[in-house]
Chains A and B, each alone.
Chain A
């Protein structure tokens, strides 16, 4: 498996990433030692889903695989579950286009 395993429960794929992938179904309140920094999970994070390793402002880029996978739609605290409720794609937005209307 590529990447850095964080406290046995998270996978940070590259050093540039600001989210980690849960390697198990993780419960809210769990404390995680993320490379020397203590993070407390604010919500349940299911297996394969992502949690934030940093505080992010609205519109910040989300990095996984060392690449931009999304931008945030609201401020995100460290330990927050990062998914469609607080992050979105920047691509294929035909709904914002006038061509198909």
Chain B
């Protein structure tokens, strides 16, 4: 029997596990306004970011994809898009795209509102109205197959590839078996393990696409004239026993379990529902990578760590999975699932089952440690000029 959870079914049929009003700035110029306005209640979730009012087209397209995808995520019941009024990205256009999901979306221009003080006041009024509508939604039973589960790793060490990543991989396998979607990303951390992923691709076209994207990430080291070893593995990874990017990658891909690779989408592009294991082409930066998958529609994230990490997300609950017993002890108030018990003899299947149960409980509304502590990092991956000029990474 397929497991179920209770979630919020949206007008377009997709199911949210939270019921938030998103407060989305079109640029950095509106970021402090969304923060100020969101003090109105914990249900208002700001997504402040650092992108400027003017970006090259390829970079702007990616920023817009992230902001629209974030608003479209089914954990969001309604959204307010805020602009200064000078941005090349138009708040009205972004709002229209978010509203295609059938949810209520409003816009606000700081200039038209009469400056920051009045803009915050007006934003709070709009948010209050939106929330009145959103709070009418009730949880109803939904099938696990409607979940998109994103996996991320950060602060990796040698325990990641042995304990926490295989645990997440096992939970991903269980969800795929139950008809859902599992996704992992961080393309630079496929380097050295891409041949294994390539073998698991469902067809040649996908296989070639995957290998091309990995090659592009490796070439970026060439374009920048740097030695990837300076950044990958990070000094922290190295202290934790990881010697090379190949070693880190071979551990990292364990997050994807053992099922076939069904597809690979762009950064922040929509992940299919009921899609099996689908990769996303993202950088290795944790916050940007999580944000990309949540913009792609992931309702719940599992984040594995060896050395410890505190990363959360404003829109999707982040379940922390610790692989290192010392980190589980020292940072227990940031950790949700202890995968380090595999070193004491627990099987990966047992711990993976525990994580899958946690995933469903969190989908039902149980708060993660990151949620309890208000950890809600948000950052957009910026397409760099050399990427645009070079190989079209990030389009």
Contact = CB atoms under 8 A, between A and B. Distances in A.
B257 to A, nearest CB: 13
Nearest to A93: B227
A48 B250 contact: no
A21 B280 CA distance: 30
A99 interface: yes
B166 A2 contact: yes
B223 A92 contact: no
Contact of A49 (B193, B241, B342): B241
B58 to A, nearest CB: 20
Contact residues on B (Cβ < 8 Å of other chain), bracket: 35 or more
A39 interface: no
A81 to B, nearest CB: 10
Nearest to A85: B243
B4 interface: no
Interface in B219-274: 220-229, 232, 238, 240-241, 243-247, 250-251
Interface in A30-73: 46-50, 62, 64-65, 67-70
B144 interface: no
Contacts of A23: 343
Interface SS of A by simple majority: loop
B348 A2 contact: yes
Nearest to B325: A47
A92 B243 contact: no
A69 B193 CA distance: 9
A77 interface: no
Contacts of B228: 89, 91-94
The residue in A48, A69, A70 that gathers the most chain B C-beta atoms within 10 A of its C-beta is A48
Interface of B: 157-159, 161-163, 166, 188, 191-193, 196, 218, 220-229, 232, 238, 240-241, 243-247, 250-251, 306, 324, 326, 342-343, 345, 347-348
